[in-house]
């Protein structure tokens, strides 16, 4: 199942999840987006433990801008509000599923890496004071 994000508060709610979130940034005028959308929706049905959301960049340009979306389609992956990975362009169902599986398996590593960078930054600030 996929969720259409229509407002900023919906985005914020989805992004704060402890679950992995796959966000498909797209636009109705984009032919590659139209071709990729059924792939995104089909793969979403196979991963109940991942939230698959769709963000129309024309309707929510501030969200697209916040995450530096320059080309579409692009799927960004978030966990605990942090961006951990992205895949861009058109993928076949099998190749997109392989990417999702790899990111899903590596999510704990990505999070640990992000947390250690935050801790290192704080430690550096404390040492320099």
Whether residue 73 is preceded by a cis peptide bond, meaning omega within 30 degrees of 0, is: yes
Q: Which of 3, 17, 27, 30 is catalytic?
A: 30
Residue matched to tokens 């362009």:
89
* Beta strand residue intervals within the chain, DSSP E: 2-5, 20-26, 50-56, 74-79, 82-88
Q: Which residues of 46-62 are buried (b: 16+ CB within 10 A; e: fewer)?
A: ebeebbbbbbbbeebee
30 among known catalytic residues? yes
**Given 15, 21, 22, 33, which residue is catalytic?**
33
Residue 35 CA to residue 33 CA, distance in Å, equals 5
Q: Of the candidates 49, 53, 40, 47, which has an alpha carbon nearest to the alpha carbon of residue 12?
A: 53
Q: Which residues are catalytic?
A: 30, 33
């Amino acid at each position: 199942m996929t969720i259409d994000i229509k407002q900023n508060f919906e985005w914020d709610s989805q992004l704060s999840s402890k679950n992995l979130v796959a966000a498909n940034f797209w636009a109705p005028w984009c032919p590659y987006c139209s071709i990729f959308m059924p792939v995104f929706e089909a793969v979403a049905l196979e991963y109940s433990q991942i939230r698959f959301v769709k963000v129309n960049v024309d309707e929510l340009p501030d969200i697209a801008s916040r995450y530096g979306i320059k080309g579409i389609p692009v799927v960004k992956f978030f966990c605990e509000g942090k961006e951990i990975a992205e895949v861009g362009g058109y993928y076949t169902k099998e190749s997109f599923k392989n990417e999702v599986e790899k990111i899903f398996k590596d999510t704990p590593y990505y999070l640990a890496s992000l947390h250690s960078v935050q801790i290192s930054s704080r430690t550096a600030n404390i040492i320099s004071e």
